[in-house]
Amino acid sequence: MDKTVIYGKNAIIEALEQGEREFNKILISDNSRSDAKIEQIKRLAKQNGVIFQFVTKEKLNSIEPDGKHQGVIGLVAPIKYTELDDFIEKNRNERTGIVILDGVEDSHNVGAIIRSCVCAGIKGIILPSRRGVLINSTVEKTSAGAANHISIMKVNSLVSAVQKLKDNDYWVIASDHHAEQNHYEVDYTDMNFALIMGAEHAGISKSLLKLSDFKVKIPMLTNFNSLNVSNATAIILFEYVSQLCKKTRGNKNE
Amino acid sequence: MDKTVIYGKNAIIEALEQGEREFNKILISDNSRSDAKIEQIKRLAKQNGVIFQFVTKEKLNSIEPDGKHQGVIGLVAPIKYTELDDFIEKNRNERTGIVILDGVEDSHNVGAIIRSCVCAGIKGIILPSRRGVLINSTVEKTSAGAANHISIMKVNSLVSAVQKLKDNDYWVIASDHHAEQNHYEVDYTDMNFALIMGAEHAGISKSLLKLSDFKVKIPMLTNFNSLNVSNATAIILFEYVSQLCKKTRGNKNE
């Protein structure tokens, strides 16, 4: 069972600063050396009216057995998922990018993808309820708090979600290493897009590929055709960011 | 102590196919369902004259306690590090890209970076002997076997290594989020380059920044300025790949 905890100093600082997560309390190891970050956590907790409590390291280890808590664990209310309809409505009047994860199973990858999405100005992530990873403590830790900066949606059917996005003026882009078009040959800047990334071995399901408006591949310089899915996502998203930066700069120079 | 083992089905298949790692033996769980990949491992082991042996799951767990072995562990000779001088000599007559990791401490990140490097045609990686991660089982597993496809160098002084590269016609590029130049504004295709990536929080050491010919940043669309280091590396390396693909295509069309 995944308890609703946030652990790791940076993840907790981020969540406290962001203020969108409801903390029950923060547990701090009573024998950890107090460093600048622990002091910052205590200060932020006081500011936010969050109780903190000193406990033994053994207590922390019992909550987070992998020992990656860095001496501090936050007990929080579960992350709030967003409804797809609400998301579409809220973002109807501006260009919006979404990432859809089709069966990505590794929590570290999902966390890193959330970080990249937030850095790239992506506004929403869609996860399937039944396959792949939902947001757990490892995802939150790996996301370094980014999970609080983006709308996260879980849906029963990715096909229905993609169809709904298409009906609402989103273009659907599938990352597929069999594609003919290179990822940098699509202009991402002038549309609402939903980028589908698949599981590392299985790829994207056929039903989703069929719904896609573009299929793009990341060209490789060797036959070792095996990028980590979070790296592949980052490469495509930051191609979009580069295009947008070049365009903005171009407009300024006109 | 990090035992010299490779674990995970894909990592072992990759190492057997590549043939550059000297296997002592391969241990297979005696109660794992035999699937296509286990059969492939057995076949490759026979072809390569490598002994395989059925053992209890408990035995495998005692060697790799995180339980990520997927029912198969290879006992191998340690990875062979390359000498920087030999690397420079061997690659003297062609355009060469290198990645230098300055204090990257997370094994998953180092493994994912090695994968991206191999996909992007990077020929060497330099790690410091004393700070950061050397190649351990987690790195090998995360690299999905890519660690066998690239020259890995460990050096006592990154400063001396960078100076030596500069003396041998390499341009040094530092990833630094304080930089003024965007990563896509450098033409990587017409030079030997050494790309330095720093630890996520500390960044690149000042002495290395001073030696750099270019400092580049990845522009962000939000204030959440915190890309995972393996994603940042992938973004810059695949900007290089895109440039190279565009150039090659351009030349073909001339």
- Secondary structure (DSSP) of A59-107: HHHHHSTTS-STTEEEEEPPPPPPPHHHHHHHTTTS--EEEEEES---H
Question: Terminus-to-terminus CA distance in chain B, angstroms?
Answer: 57
Task: Give the whole-angstrom CA distance, residue A197 versus residue B80.
Answer: 35
Task: Give the whole-angstrom CA distance, residue B58 versus residue B179.
Answer: 51
Q: What is the pLDDT along chain B (254 residues), one digit of tens a residue?
A: 345 888 888 889 988 888 777 888 999 998 777 788 999 999 999 998 899 999 998 899 888 877 788 899 999 877 788 999 999 999 999 999 999 999 898 888 999 999 999 999 999 999 998 776 777 777 877 787 788 889 999 999 999 999 999 999 999 999 999 999 999 999 999 999 999 999 877 889 999 999 999 999 999 998 877 799 999 999 999 999 999 999 987 766 54
Quote the distance between the C-alpha of residue B85 and its chain's center.
Answer: 19
Minimum distance, in Å, between the CA of residue A219 and any CA atom of chain B:
7
- Among the residues of chain A, which ranges form H helices? 9-18, 36-47, 57-63, 84-90, 107-119, 137-142, 158-167, 206-211, 229-253
What torsion, rounded to 10 degrees, do the Cα atoms A64, A66, A72, A75 define?
Answer: -20
H or E element at residue A53: strand A52-55
Q: Which residues of chain B form CATH 3.30.1330.30?
A: 5-76
Task: Give the whole-angstrom CA distance, residue B250 versus residue B234.
Answer: 24
What are B74's strand-pairing partners?
Answer: B6, B26
The CATH number assigned to the domain with range B5-76 reads 3.30.1330.30
- Which of B142, B227, B239 minimises the CB distance to A115? B227
Compute the half-sphere exposure of residue B133: CA atoms within 13 Å on the CB side of its CA: 21
The identity of residue A161, as a single letter, is A
A222 touches chain B (CB under 8 A): yes
- Is B118's CB within 8 Å of A146's CB? no
- Is B119's CB within 8 Å of A220's CB? yes
Task: Give the whole-angstrom CA distance, residue B224 versus residue B241.
Answer: 26
Task: Give the whole-angstrom CA distance, residue A235 versus residue A224.
Answer: 17
Query: With bands split at pLDDT 50, 70 and 90, how would you rate the model's confidence at A3?
Result: low
Task: Give the whole-angstrom CA distance, residue A57 versus residue A71.
Answer: 7
- Which of A112, A121, A224 minimises the CB distance to B228? A112
CB contacts < 8 A (A, B): 112
Instruction: Record the tokens describing residue A79, joined without a space.
Output: 């992350």
B240: CB partners within 8 A, 6+ apart: B97, B120, B188, B189, B193
ipTM: 0.80
A238 touches chain B (CB under 8 A): yes
A18 touches chain B (CB under 8 A): no
From chain A, pick out residues whose CB is under 8 angstroms from the CB of B225.
119
**pLDDT tens-place string over residues B16-41:** 888 777 888 999 998 777 788 999 99
Name which of A109, A119, A225, A233 to mutate to probe chain B: the one with the most chain B Cβ atoms within 10 A of its Cβ.
Answer: A119
Q: Look at residue B252 in the predicted model and tell me its pLDDT.
A: 60
Q: Are A121 and A96 in contact (CB under 8 A)?
A: no
A67 touches chain B (CB under 8 A): no
Highest mean pLDDT among A3-12, A54-63, A195-204, B188-197: B188-197
What CATH number does domain A84-253 carry, 3.40.1280.10, 3.40.30.10, 3.30.465.10, 3.40.190.10?
Answer: 3.40.1280.10
B161: CB partners within 8 A, 6+ apart: B84, B100, B126, B153, B155
Residue A118 CB burial class (10 angstroms; 0-12, 13-18, ≥19)? buried
Q: Look at residue B89 in the predicted model and tell me its pLDDT.
A: 97
| Strand-pair category, B97-102 with B124-128 | parallel
The pLDDT of A192-208, averaged and rounded, is: 92
H or E element at residue B53: strand B52-55
Q: Look at residue A1 in the predicted model and tell me its pLDDT.
A: 34
What are A154's strand-pairing partners?
Answer: A127
Phi, psi (deg, nearest 5) at residue A127: -120, 145
Phi, psi (deg, nearest 5) at residue A218: -95, 115
The identity of residue A89, as a single letter, is E
Comparison of pLDDT for A24 and A181, the residue scoring more: A181
The identity of residue B172, as a single letter, is V
Q: Which residues of chain A form CATH 3.40.1280.10?
A: 84-253
**Residue from A40, A34, A202, A27 nearest A106 by CA:** A202
Residue of chain A minimizing CA distance to B122: A221
B95: CB partners within 8 A, 6+ apart: B189, B190, B191, B192
| Strand-pair category, A124-128 with A97-102 | parallel
pLDDT > 70 fraction of chain A, expressed in percent and rounded: 96
Query: With bands split at pLDDT 50, 70 and 90, how would you rate the model's confidence at A126?
Result: very high
Instruction: Record the tokens describing residue A90, joined without a space.
Output: 């809220």
